[in-house]
């Protein structure tokens, strides 16, 4: 693969896409789950998206059922849950695997030889398509380090 922009993806509605749809944007890529103790982070992720989307930030959610079966639902159930419970407006993608033998190529690229440790791990990708920062699952979306990294990435033309 030439870059992260070339990796085939599916939106949560099943339509085909790539991250090239978000070229020249700053992306916050998050593996999400509906039945995790960290699930309330959806509120913070949506708040970040609402605050910074006009400046070029796109939060992208990738549901994954790799940790304690905390994302058991179908794509349709996940989409309904995210909209109705947290008012999620940021782009959601089809459920994928983020670790193990069947790990999605996006997460091969994001994590490299390292493992994803839990739900809600965050990767900030700059406008150039390179990884700018990585944040642990317990780092909340409005943590000053996350906000500072987003502000820095958005300042790069």
Residue 96 per-residue DSSP state? B
> Is 82 part of the annotated catalytic residue set?
no
> What's the pLDDT tens digit per position in 66-84?
999 999 999 999 999 999 9
Please tell me the distance from the alpha carbon of residue 102 to that of residue 115, in angstroms, as a whole number.
Answer: 13
Q: In whole angstroms, what is the distance from residue 127 CA to residue 135 CA?
A: 18
In which domain, by residue range, is 136 found? 4-155
Q: What is the CATH number of the domain that holds 44?
A: 3.40.30.10
Longest Cα–Cα distance in the chain: 40
pLDDT digits (tens, 9 = 90+) for 16-28: 999 999 989 999 9
- Nearest Cα to Cα of residue 6 among 18, 17, 15: 18
pTM score of the predicted model: 0.96
For the chain, the domain total comes to: 1
Catalytic residue among 17, 36, 86, 152: 36
């Amino acid at each position: 693969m030439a870059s992260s922009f070339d990796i085939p993806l599916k939106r949560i509605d099943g339509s085909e896409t790539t991250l090239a749809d978000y070229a020249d944007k700053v992306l916050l890529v998050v593996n999400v789950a509906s039945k995790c103790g960290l699930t309330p982070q959806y509120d913070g992720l949506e708040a970040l998206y609402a605050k910074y989307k006009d400046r070029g930030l796109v939060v992208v959610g990738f549901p994954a059922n790799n940790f304690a079966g905390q994302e058991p639902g179908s794509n349709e159930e996940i989409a309904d849950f995210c909209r109705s419970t947290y008012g999620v407006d940021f782009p959601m993608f089809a459920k994928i695997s983020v670790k193990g033998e069947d790990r999605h190529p996006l997460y091969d690229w994001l994590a490299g030889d390292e493992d994803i440790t839990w739900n809600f791990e965050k990767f900030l990708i700059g406008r150039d398509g390179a990884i700018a920062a990585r944040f642990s699952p317990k780092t909340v979306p409005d943590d000053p380090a996350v906000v500072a990294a987003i502000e820095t990435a958005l300042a790069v033309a």
